[in-house]
């Protein structure tokens, strides 16, 4: 959609006020990814409004927002697929955030989005998790005769042992690793929070080997201190990490999954082996316990044991 239909000069127009809102988010230390996502979602909403002659937030009513919600619901991607309910909700959440801010700043008298009912997000279980033996097959796939292979083995081990997110792994610095304490620090993870995560001896051994005989061949002239780097010594993108994880999973005969599969597997196996769910919540960096509780539904080991002992046909 083109934004050319929207007058840029209006002090109370969408462009001016959205720029102010995004700047407010930056000043209040919202994650760069959150600001970028809000920018993208609000661009789409602004363009939709512009095509209908609506150029200022004060001209938006609840009815307009309901029409936009219906448009988002009916929208189809270039591949002909509708948005997931979670994606629809995300679009509307950012629009609601804008109008909530405008009202708090007294740039609007009434918040037209205050009573907008968002669609309920789907609640999906992880598609599958791996057994410990299957995970060992995945971990054994990298070619350890090459520096990149040593790096990849260390990356896979770190994903599996710590359950950290791909962006968190990409941001790790060498000094975030504490060998003697067997911990690493995730700095400014999701929600802009730091946390300390345990990391086992196996992962530490592979990281140590990578630091000694792998990373020195990968870093360039300028060492920025990142733990894991590309062949040219540059930071790893989250897209690259997904491709890397998918490559080794497929090599082990696993057709679906990427970085998050390591996270799901780590949490589920720990739960099945008796870990308290609150410790898993702390390790994964979940703000809410209910986010972690999804793993109690994936972990079926205890239920199978009870079923076997108590069901007459078991």
Look up residue 168 and give its two tokens.
């968190």
Tell me the Cα Rg of the chain: 24
Active site residue 127: no
**Is 229 in a helix, a strand, or coil?**
strand
286 carries an active-site annotation = yes
Tell me the pairing of strands 195-198 and 183-186: antiparallel
Distance, in Å, from the CA atom of 180 to the CA atom of 204, rounded to the nearest integer, reads 10
Q: Of these residues, 153, 165, 166, 195, which one is catalytic?
A: 165
- pLDDT given for residue 184 in this prediction: 86
Is 295 in the active site?
yes
CA distance 260 to 282: 17
β-strand partners of 186: 195
Query: According to the model, what pLDDT value does residue 245 have?
Result: 93
- What string of pLDDT tens digits covers the 314 residues of the chain? 444 444 545 778 899 999 999 999 999 988 788 899 999 999 999 999 999 999 999 999 999 999 999 999 999 988 888 888 888 999 999 999 999 999 999 999 999 999 999 887 666 555 577 888 898 999 999 999 999 999 999 999 999 988 888 989 999 999 999 988 888 888 876 666 788 888 988 899 999 999 999 999 998 777 889 999 999 889 999 999 999 999 999 999 988 888 888 888 888 888 777 777 777 777 777 766 666 666 655 555 555 565 566 556 65
Place of tokens 């109690």: 296
**Cβ atoms of residues 268 and 295 within 8 Å:** yes
- Provide the 3-class DSSP secondary structure of residue 155: helix
- Output the CA–CA distances (angstroms, integers) from residue 97 to 6, 94, 268, in the order listed: 21, 5, 34
Q: Which of 279, 298, 258, 299 is nearest to 165 (CA)?
A: 258
Q: Is 278 a catalytic residue?
A: no
Backbone dihedral angles phi then psi of residue 285, each to the nearest 5 degrees: 80, 30
8 A C-beta contact, residue 37 and residue 94: yes
pLDDT of residue 200: 84
- CB count within 10 Å of CB 237 equals 13
User: What was the pLDDT predicted at 206?
Assistant: 95
E-only strand ranges, the chain: 177-178, 183-186, 195-198
What token pair was written down for 125? 């279980």
Q: What's the start-to-end Cα distance of the chain, in Å?
A: 59
Catalytic residue among 91, 94, 166, 263: 263
Domains of the chain as residue ranges with CATH: 14-104 (1.10.150), 132-306 (1.10.443.10)
165 is catalytic: yes
Catalytic residue among 91, 195, 264, 286: 286
Report the pLDDT value the prediction gives residue 209, as an integer from 0 to 100.
95
- How many Å separate Cα 29 from the centre of its chain? 18
Whether 247 is a known active-site residue: answer no
pLDDT, residue 268, reads 82
Given 134, 190, 246, 250, the catalytic residue: 190
């Amino acid at each position: 959609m083109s934004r050319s239909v929207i007058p840029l000069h209006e002090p109370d127009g969408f462009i001016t006020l959205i720029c102010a809102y995004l700047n407010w988010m930056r000043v209040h230390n919202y994650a760069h990814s959150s600001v970028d996502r809000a920018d993208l979602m609000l661009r789409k909403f602004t363009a939709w409004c512009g095509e209908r002659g609506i150029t200022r937030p004060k001209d938006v009513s609840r009815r307009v927002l309901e029409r936009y919600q219906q448009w988002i619901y009916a929208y189809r991607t270039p591949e002909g697929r509708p948005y997931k309910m979670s994606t629809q909700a995300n679009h509307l959440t950012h629009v609601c955030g804008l109008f909530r801010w405008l009202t708090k700043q007294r740039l609007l008298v009434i918040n037209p989005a205050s009573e907008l009912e968002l669609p309920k997000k789907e609640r999906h279980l992880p598609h599958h998790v791996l057994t410990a033996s299957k995970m060992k097959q995945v971990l054994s796939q990298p070619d350890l005769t090459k520096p990149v292979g040593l790096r990849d083995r260390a990356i896979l081990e770190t994903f599996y042992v710590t359950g950290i997110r791909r962006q968190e792994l990409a941001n790790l610095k060498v000094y975030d690793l504490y060998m003697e304490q067997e911990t690493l620090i995730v700095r400014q993870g999701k929600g802009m929070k730091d946390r300390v995560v345990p990391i086992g001896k196996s992962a530490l051994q592979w990281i140590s080997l990578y630091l000694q005989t792998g990373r020195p061949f990968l870093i360039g002239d300028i060492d920025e201190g990142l733990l894991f780097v590309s062949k040219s010594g540059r930071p790893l993108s989250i897209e690259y990490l997904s491709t890397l994880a998918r490559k080794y999973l497929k090599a082990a005969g696993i057709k679906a999954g990427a970085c998050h599969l390591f996270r799901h597997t780590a949490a589920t196996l720990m739960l099945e082996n008796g870990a308290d769910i609150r410790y898993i919540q702390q390790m994964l960096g979940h703000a809410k316990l209910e986010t972690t509780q999804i793993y109690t539904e994936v972990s079926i080991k205890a239920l199978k044991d009870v079923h076997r002992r108590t069901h007459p046909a078991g």
